[in-house]
A and B are shown apart, each in its own frame.
Chain A
Amino acid sequence: DQQVKQNSPSLSVQEGRISILNCDYTNSMFDYFLWYKKYPAEGPTFLISISSIKDKNEDGRFTVFLNKSAKHLSLHIVPSQPGDSAVYFCAASDAGGTSYGKLTFGQGTILTVHP
């Protein structure tokens, strides 16, 4: 039972353009959402998060949008840079019920930004 789904295994974008990574979830108890980036042979690194009381959170080139009614979130990277090429994981937690850090992850999307 995949509670967090990233339906696009990969995404290819030209440098300078916008990258949009999508994520869907099924568990209505999830109230905290995060995006992590992972390079090969390294652990995931935190990018940005959003609480369910918000619909948008912005940090520099990264913006996360949350649509609770659709159980959908997305990560926008503008402008995309070659160094953004990595695997991006969407994650969610039932922070109010259990823990902020007990995360359910999606399968990941491989982003490739071409120069």
Chain B
Amino acid sequence: GAGVSQSPSNKVTEKGKDVELRCDPISGHTALYWYRQRLGQGLEFLIYFQGNSAPDKSGLPSDRFSAERTGESVSTLTIQRTQQEDSAVYLCASSPQDREGTEAFFGQGTRLTVV
């Protein structure tokens, strides 16, 4: 596809379960970002991958959150032992490279509901 693809679109999980969210960036994009948007709030940075560099994990809210990316392709965001406060829309974005004029393209997001 032409855009950033995220799956699933919606996920309902029970408190305490682990979830895995997937992001397929635009082909050739070296930079990949995860954000989340909780209800009524702005987007919150989680993690950033750039090529083969070590990821910037400074936005991950707790050690229950982790993310991986294989090369310049698919990324997965894993949330272990989910809590109700993890309920949010999780958005993935990618950009061709990290420089001015190469703004990020966002996917449609995964809406996670923890019950």
Contacts and interface: CB of A to CB of B under 8 A. Distances in A.
> Are A and B subunits of one complex?
yes
Interface of A: 4, 6, 32, 34, 36, 41-46, 49, 51, 89, 91, 95, 98-108
B98 A103 contact: no
Given A102-B45, A107-B42, 5 more contacts: A36-B106, A89-B42, A102-B56, A105-B35, A106-B42
B42 A108 contact: yes
A107 B40 contact: yes
Contacts of B44: 105
B104 interface: yes
B103 interface: yes
19 contacts: A6-B42, A41-B108, A45-B106, A46-B105, A49-B103, A89-B42, A89-B43, A95-B100, A98-B56, A99-B56, A101-B93, A101-B95, A101-B98, A102-B48, A102-B59, A103-B33, A105-B35, A107-B40, A107-B42
Contact of A101 (B31, B40, B109): B31
Contacts of A101: 31, 33, 48, 93, 95, 98, 103-104
Contacts of A106: 42
A104 B45 contact: yes
Interface residues of B, number: 29
The 7 A-B residue pairs whose C-beta atoms are closest, nearest first, are A43-B106, A105-B42, A105-B43, A46-B103, A107-B42, A101-B104, A44-B106
Nearest to B48: A102
A79 B48 CA distance: 36
A106 B40 CA distance: 11
B41 interface: yes
A100 B102 contact: yes
Contacts of A42: 108
A107 B48 contact: no
Nearest to A34: B103
A46 B3 CA distance: 13
